[in-house]
Structure 1
Amino acid sequence: MSFLTATDPTSGAVVRRVPAATPEQITATIDRAQSAFEGWRTTSFEERGDVLRAVAAYMRENVDKLGMVMTEEMGKPMTESRGEVIKAAWAAEYYAEHAEAHLAPDVLESDATSSYVQYLPLGPVLGVLPWNAPFWLAFRFCAPALMAGNTCVMKHDPHVPGCAEAIAGVFEAVGAPPGIFQAVLAETPDVEQAIRDPRIQAVSFTGSERGGSAVASIAASEVKPTVLELGGSDPCIVLADADLVQAADVIALSRIINAGQSCIAAKRIIVERPVHDELVELLAERLSALVVGDPRDDATQVGPIARPDLRDNLHRQVTESIAAGATCVLGGELPDGDGWFYPVTLLTDVVPGMAACTEETFGPVAVVMAADDADAALALANDTPYGLAASVWTSAARGEAMARHIFAGQVTVNGIVKSDPRLPSGGIRRSGYGRELGPHGIREFVNAQQVWVGPKKG
């Protein structure tokens, strides 16, 4: 028998060890999802919404208990864990309220007496999710899919089995119809069995470029639609006319949320030369003041890296960049002691070709690059195979104009890049395809069925 093991990154101690699902158990889970779909797809939006609202209420009432599972399994500071549970509840509430309007039929004139497109559920949908935002990413996947009338099978990252069980437990606790949402605690290689099962109709994947490519290839061979949200090397452009104090406040926060382990965090800070030194000084002041420590302590702002291999890779990126000519203003040294902590680090004099620029940095490492002018900054921003999100600090009109020339699925002007249930998010290029959230997200996993009603006109 194989097991999924969760290790507390603060201490390195094993906190949970659960049996991995067998092939027979994976099949049985999908059996239940298919059986549940037959009834769930015929329910009204109001009935589905009642379930999602009950789920949201339970999460709000049990925020500390649920948040602590995240903190102990992947090291998210408790202040952020609570916020993530609340945000997941918001996603459930948002779709409970707006799904019916987002999926209203579209009337399209033709030669028919009546013609329209209606949006119908597909069936069981598989969500393959990562460890870094266990609750939020689960509800980003399941809330729209469930409200569209699909059922959901969640295969969470094997390092957060307690989170997976807790999320599924929320649906059980509120008496949701059995089988509409299930967690399958499977090892990563066994996800292929689930994708190839003929009852699974679509796949949502969030994770690495390598993992997304593998999932997409398997799903394509079975002619099943996928949505992929993969890695990013998100640019943050700061031009000379920006509000530098506000920019520094937001950039510092963006860079260290979840200890920097976020796909949409600002990763390459591209600064116009006239304000480069001033912004670096402001960033250094803010980053050096951050409290790194035990994520169970509400005073902690930056927790540990989730796994030792992730920390080792992050340190390699930093040391290789310094060896190639980058300047280390803050951090950059592996600390002694228990756990997989990494210091808040600030690198300047970073240029294309360095590891901290060409690779995705998943940790509290801020990378600053200088650009001669706005055109050069834009060129640097687009000099990446990724295209997840970007931000621009300048006048609002100038930022909006620049957004049209940035190759990214999401651009924020004078603010923090974030995901919001009301707005679609997703990437282009090697950051993936498809959209989640907003009205666009709920239409990813539906049958856009054209209906033509005669007799033919005229």
Structure 2
Amino acid sequence: MSIRQISSFAAGEWIAPGAGARAIASAITGEVIASAGNSALDVQSMLDHARDVGGPALRAMTFHDRARMLKALGQHLNANKQALYDISFDTGATQSDHMIDIDGGIGTMFVFASKGRREMPDDHVFLDGELEQLGRTGTFMGQHICTPLHGVAVHINAFNFPVWGMLEKLAPTLLAGVPAIVKPATNSCYVTELAVKLMLESSILPEGALQFVSGGLGDMLDRLGMQDVVSFTGSADTALLLRSNKTILENSVRFVAEQDSLNASILGPDAEPGTPEFDLFIKEVSREMTAKAGQKCTAIRRIIAPQAQVDAVIEALSERLAKTVIGDPRLEGTRMGALVSNGQKQDVLAKAALIGSEAERVFGDPENFEVVGADAGKGAFLPPMLFHCANPDTAQRVHDTEAFGPVSTVMGYRDLDHAVEIAKRGQGSLVASVITHDPAVARQVAIGAGAYHGRIYINDRVSMKESTGHGSPLPHLVHGGPGRAGGGEEMGGVRGVKHYMQRTAIQGSPDMLSAIGNRWVPGATEIEAPAHPFTRKFGELRIGETLHTAAREVTMADIEHFAEFTGDTFYAHMDDGAAKRNPFFPGRVAHGYLLLSFAAGLFVEPNEGPVLANTGLDSLRFMKPVSAGDSIRVRLTVKHKTPRNDEYGEVRWHVTLTNQDSEKVAEYELLTMNAF
């Protein structure tokens, strides 16, 4: 068998393993299949290449450019994922495990690509939050903005997800406009290397945007500065060692960690045997114990059930686990493969022994189990092991020891408050789940345990068909947790992108803020439209371009006709005495939606033109009532423009209605789709 040489990609060149290289064994056979690592890597040239070449190239692109880049990368990986499947079996993973890792990672890239186009501007500045008026008249304003850091993101990933673990960090990093140096765990780095090669060979990425280290980082962390980021996934001990680095501390280098986590799942008191929730609970726990051979940071380690249901849970779970076929992951019938290495197997056995000092093993004998199609003595195989802790209040090891494999412990609770207290004893985790059909139970757990968990997953008969599972982090939501889980928040849509950007408070006049954010701010200079703005194409419209309409008087006949026509006969519009008794109205007033209708009649250009559709309005506020005899006029201003495809883009208009005394009576933002 030829030994694969897993190279590093540094400063634009592939560098073969050299001094300090490590042998990598197959999880299935125990035979050496690859070699990785080179202690002679010039890490400073890698950092310089990222900062001086990759960073400027990425920052020259807009968020939408980078989002399109992510989509193209995802499509390229998707077209070539069979090669990633084929090479991943030696990690011990089954085909269904590959789909979690490879398809999950590609899907994460697609989500960030979509969010980048929909939730971020086609610009270089991201506006964070609303405007703040800092002066009485509105000539001095404040706004938070986010811009890309001018450094490099160093990604240190765990062995269990060689593709997803890389892509879930890489997607928000590249979308932010920051280059990355990826360092996977050596045991499975050959899978990551292939994924990196596929992306680089696609020529989609600008030079310097992505580099790859197989093996150790050397003294790279000693060379980081205040513009750099370290994003780490792994053990709490390693995280502590890395984040304690003197340079990282001195330079306040951002450190995002996702580490050890003793995740819990709570069976609700209502979920008795025979209910859909009980069956769902057993299915979820079994899946989390056996998927990736239990090597998931989100796997269920503590099974918390009503004391009266503990025996039923053990019986049902043991019966289901007994059906799990363990063996060569390349075989179609295999349901659980091997751990990533024999070293990892020994670590799990040692941790299981610690748990066993406080809990009884009720299922799974590591000395006596069947392996199909492989030699259990040579490969890194273990059976699912289920423990029962009869005294979770006095136990310690079951709450602080993570056996990173197919190991979990059942424990009973007296009441729901007790269940929450048991869950909290994990001292912070990535996820806790509660399987219940009782909303009151879900609320009590969320309030009681929320501060200790990054995610709370609730499932029942209603959501079970669509739910993604206890152990599936989604790119839309944050992935991380407090305390021993690392205190980080990866992914989370645009929240994850902000880890690689600097938030800056900008203060100045409306014109200054409009120029910086490329978004018109009320009070900024208005540009007189050369023609009605609804006759101008998307590309012709300028930010700040404004239309001032003529006035229209609102009559009592208008109010009464609108009430009769719509059926809206609310007393403030129809009963003068009742309206006057209301502290907000001087008497009968016009309907707010009547004013919006009149506003549209004042500013709309009725003929066919580049405005294709009105897609909604945001931030509607009614500020002052309008009585019969008052008149209104409209100011319509181009606030912001966002391309959507090659045919049309979204125009956000700032609309202000004023009365005959120039007082604001209503304000909102109108959204239209305009042709290019």
- Is the TM-score greater than 0.5? yes
Counterpart in 2 of 1:345?
385
Aligned mates of 2:142, 2:396 — CA distance in 1: 56
Aligned mates of 1:351, 1:303 — CA distance in 2: 32
- Given that 2:187 and 2:340 are in contact with CA atoms closer than 8 Å, whether structure 1 keeps it comes out as no
Aligned mates of 1:77, 1:326 — CA distance in 2: 29
Q: CA deviation at 1:19?
A: 4.0
1:104-183 residue pairs with structure 2 within 5 A? Answer: 104-111=127-134, 112-122=139-149, 123-175=151-203, 176-183=205-212
- Given that 1:8 and 1:15 are in contact with CA atoms closer than 8 Å, whether structure 2 keeps it comes out as yes
Aligned mates of 2:358, 2:257 — CA distance in 1: 33
Q: CA deviation at 1:193?
A: 2.2
The answer to whether 1:449 aligns with 2:504 is: yes
Higher deviation after alignment, 354-363 or 134-143: 354-363
Q: CA deviation at 1:328?
A: 2.3
- Given that 2:351 and 2:402 are in contact with CA atoms closer than 8 Å, whether structure 1 keeps it comes out as no
1:217-296 residue pairs with structure 2 within 5 A? Answer: 217-218=244-245, 219-242=248-271, 243-296=277-330
1:258-337 residue pairs with structure 2 within 5 A? Answer: 258-333=292-367, 336-337=376-377
Aligned mates of 1:327, 1:2 — CA distance in 2: 41
Aligned partner of 1:411: which letter? I
- Given that 2:77 and 2:195 are in contact with CA atoms closer than 8 Å, whether structure 1 keeps it comes out as no
Higher deviation after alignment, 98-107 or 169-178: 98-107
- Given that 1:318 and 1:356 are in contact with CA atoms closer than 8 Å, whether structure 2 keeps it comes out as no
SS at match of 1:410: strand
Q: CA deviation at 1:200?
A: 6.1
Aligned mates of 2:255, 2:472 — CA distance in 1: 22
Aligned mates of 1:278, 1:19 — CA distance in 2: 50
Any unmatched runs of 5+ in structure 2? 1-18, 121-125, 272-276, 370-375, 460-468, 513-522, 524-676
SS at match of 1:409: strand
Q: CA deviation at 1:105?
A: 4.1
Q: CA deviation at 1:48?
A: 1.2
Aligned-residue sequence identity (percent) comes to 23
Which structure features the higher share of strand residues?
A: 2
For residues 377-404 of structure 1, the C-alpha deviation after alignment (integer angstroms, 9 at most, x for no partner) is: 1111111233321111222342133112
For residues 389-442 of structure 1, the C-alpha deviation after alignment (integer angstroms, 9 at most, x for no partner) is: 111122234213311211111111125232001111111012112211123211
Aligned partner of 1:387: which letter? S
- Given that 1:388 and 1:427 are in contact with CA atoms closer than 8 Å, whether structure 2 keeps it comes out as yes
Any unmatched runs of 5+ in structure 1? none
- Given that 2:127 and 2:143 are in contact with CA atoms closer than 8 Å, whether structure 1 keeps it comes out as no
Given candidates 401, 419, 430, the residue that maps to 1:359 is 401
Q: CA deviation at 1:47?
A: 1.9
Aligned mates of 1:21, 1:67 — CA distance in 2: 29
Aligned mates of 2:140, 2:313 — CA distance in 1: 63
Aligned partner of 2:424: which letter? N
Q: CA deviation at 1:143?
A: 0.2
1:190-209 residue pairs with structure 2 within 5 A? Answer: 190=218, 192-194=219-221, 196-198=223-225, 201-209=228-236
Aligned partner of 2:498: which letter? R
Q: Relative to 1, partners in 2 of residues 1:383 and 1:354: Cα closer, same or farther, differing over 3 Å?
A: closer
SS at match of 1:433: coil
Given candidates 93, 103, 106, the residue that maps to 1:86 is 103
Counterpart in 1 of 2:444?
401
Aligned mates of 1:134, 1:95 — CA distance in 2: 19
- Given that 2:226 and 2:252 are in contact with CA atoms closer than 8 Å, whether structure 1 keeps it comes out as no
Given candidates 423, 427, 434, the residue that maps to 2:488 is 434
Q: CA deviation at 1:49?
A: 1.9
Counterpart in 1 of 2:85?
67
Aligned partner of 1:235: which letter? A
Q: CA deviation at 1:99?
A: 2.4
- Given that 1:434 and 1:444 are in contact with CA atoms closer than 8 Å, whether structure 2 keeps it comes out as no
Q: CA deviation at 1:232?
A: 0.5
Aligned partner of 1:140: which letter? E
Q: Which structure has the higher relative contact order (CA within 8 Å, separation 6+)?
A: 1
Aligned mates of 1:41, 1:334 — CA distance in 2: 57
Aligned partner of 2:447: which letter? R
Aligned partner of 1:433: which letter? G
Counterpart in 1 of 2:455?
410
State the number of aligned residues.
Answer: 453
Q: CA deviation at 1:114?
A: 3.9
Which structure features the higher share of helix residues?
A: 1
Q: Relative to 1, partners in 2 of residues 1:263 and 1:223: Cα closer, same or farther, differing over 3 Å?
A: same
- Given that 2:95 and 2:330 are in contact with CA atoms closer than 8 Å, whether structure 1 keeps it comes out as yes
Q: Relative to 1, partners in 2 of residues 1:204 and 1:305: Cα closer, same or farther, differing over 3 Å?
A: same
Q: Relative to 1, partners in 2 of residues 1:115 and 1:256: Cα closer, same or farther, differing over 3 Å?
A: same
Alignment root-mean-square deviation, CA: 2.2
Aligned mates of 1:57, 1:443 — CA distance in 2: 25
Aligned mates of 1:288, 1:301 — CA distance in 2: 11
- Given that 1:22 and 1:186 are in contact with CA atoms closer than 8 Å, whether structure 2 keeps it comes out as no
Aligned mates of 2:41, 2:368 — CA distance in 1: 41
Higher deviation after alignment, 299-308 or 8-17: 299-308
Q: CA deviation at 1:251?
A: 1.3
Q: CA deviation at 1:324?
A: 4.3
Aligned partner of 2:476: which letter? R
Q: Relative to 1, partners in 2 of residues 1:117 and 1:7: Cα closer, same or farther, differing over 3 Å?
A: same
The answer to whether 1:379 aligns with 2:421 is: yes
- Given that 2:267 and 2:306 are in contact with CA atoms closer than 8 Å, whether structure 1 keeps it comes out as yes
Counterpart in 1 of 2:116?
99
Aligned mates of 1:401, 1:174 — CA distance in 2: 50
- Given that 1:4 and 1:187 are in contact with CA atoms closer than 8 Å, whether structure 2 keeps it comes out as no
What is the TM-score of this pair, normalised by structure 1?
A: 0.93
Aligned partner of 1:177: which letter? P
Given candidates 364, 370, 373, the residue that maps to 2:412 is 370
Aligned mates of 1:185, 1:423 — CA distance in 2: 30
- Given that 1:68 and 1:78 are in contact with CA atoms closer than 8 Å, whether structure 2 keeps it comes out as no
Q: CA deviation at 1:127?
A: 0.7
Aligned mates of 1:323, 1:119 — CA distance in 2: 51
Q: Relative to 1, partners in 2 of residues 1:68 and 1:222: Cα closer, same or farther, differing over 3 Å?
A: farther
Q: Relative to 1, partners in 2 of residues 1:223 and 1:419: Cα closer, same or farther, differing over 3 Å?
A: same
Aligned partner of 1:8: which letter? S
Q: Relative to 1, partners in 2 of residues 1:115 and 1:138: Cα closer, same or farther, differing over 3 Å?
A: same
Q: Relative to 1, partners in 2 of residues 1:200 and 1:29: Cα closer, same or farther, differing over 3 Å?
A: farther
SS at match of 1:405: helix
Counterpart in 1 of 2:73?
55
Counterpart in 1 of 2:238?
211
Aligned mates of 1:364, 1:433 — CA distance in 2: 25
